[in-house]
Amino acid sequence: MVKIGKSNVESTPLGLGTNAVGGNNLFPNLKDETGIQIVKTGLDSGITLLDTAFAYGMGHSEELIGQAIKGYDRSKFVIATKAAQDTSDGDVKINNNPQFLKKSVDDALKRLQTDYIDIFYIHFPDDQTPKDEAVAALNEMKQEGKIKAIGVSNFSLDQIKEANKDGLVDVVEDQYSLLHRDAETEMFDYLRENNISFVPFFPLASGLLTGKYSEVVDFPENDIRHGNPDFTGERFEKIVEKVNNLKPLADKHGITTAQLVLAWYIKNPDVTVVIPGAKRPEQVQSNAKALNVSLSDEEYAQIDNDFRNI
């Protein structure tokens, strides 16, 4: 188990990203029943962190998780959710206003049908709210027992520093993968020095790091992968070649390429919890097996070096 920042929240080092659970605005053809089964499969497979957000289906992902967790011991797993999208006037605007964030916590509690949220993130920074004031509002929610840890997501390093002015930030969630490594130079030093956990999103690079792609895919416009430069041209070909080079090591361990990549994150000292998503329950079961994979220091370094300078 790993600890989240300075809080008392603990989790397995592999969680479940749920943007495809109720995230009908992100992916086409999602079924609610499948989403509920994905969550249950995660909990049944020993995963103890569910990562969701209001933005996944504009509250629908949270609602489905609220249904899925009925019958499970709430003390045995962790829920992380996020808010910043204000839809009160019909449009979607990013809002970090303290009152809005406090209302967002209360609304999420209702959708999730739970008494507390383990980790609550400000999903995106707005342009006007001082970040330490936004975090102070979440700290009030923490004092009331409604949340247990405070996070920020998609913040620049300067915004993280402003948010953490009073030392209240426990965790940062941002893009990081073997393909997107800016966080290593931009924020990891600061996070380490301030005992702030790090959770990467898109750890499997929208499926690219699983080894399932060998030719360019034209995703529909209502798919969040549409127009992603990782899936086009020379960059795509280079990535596919690097991923294919992982296969011998995966075969040596008797695991899939995806499990090997997830094991690399689990061993990475700067990653606290890795949260791969899934569109099918079988993917969740497969990802969970990465918890039992042990890479040597040499194998970890080999993967690390192979994916530099893509």
Catalytic residue annotation: 56
> 63-86 burial by CB neighbour count: b if 16+ within 10 A, else e?
bbbbebbeeeeeeebbbbbbbbbb
H-type alpha helices, the chain: 32-44, 60-68, 98-112, 131-143, 157-163, 182-186, 188-193, 233-244, 247-253, 257-267, 281-288, 297-306
By the 8 A CB rule, do 68 and 18 touch? Answer: no
Q: What DSSP element (H or E) covers 201?
A: strand 197-201
Distance of CA 43 to the CA centre of its chain: 16
Q: Name the residue type at position 67.
A: Q
Residues 6+ apart with CB under 8 A from 66: 111, 112, 113, 114
Residues in the chain, total: 310
Per-state percent for the chain, helix, strand, coil, to nearest 5? 45, 15, 45
Distance CA 267, CA 163 (A): 28
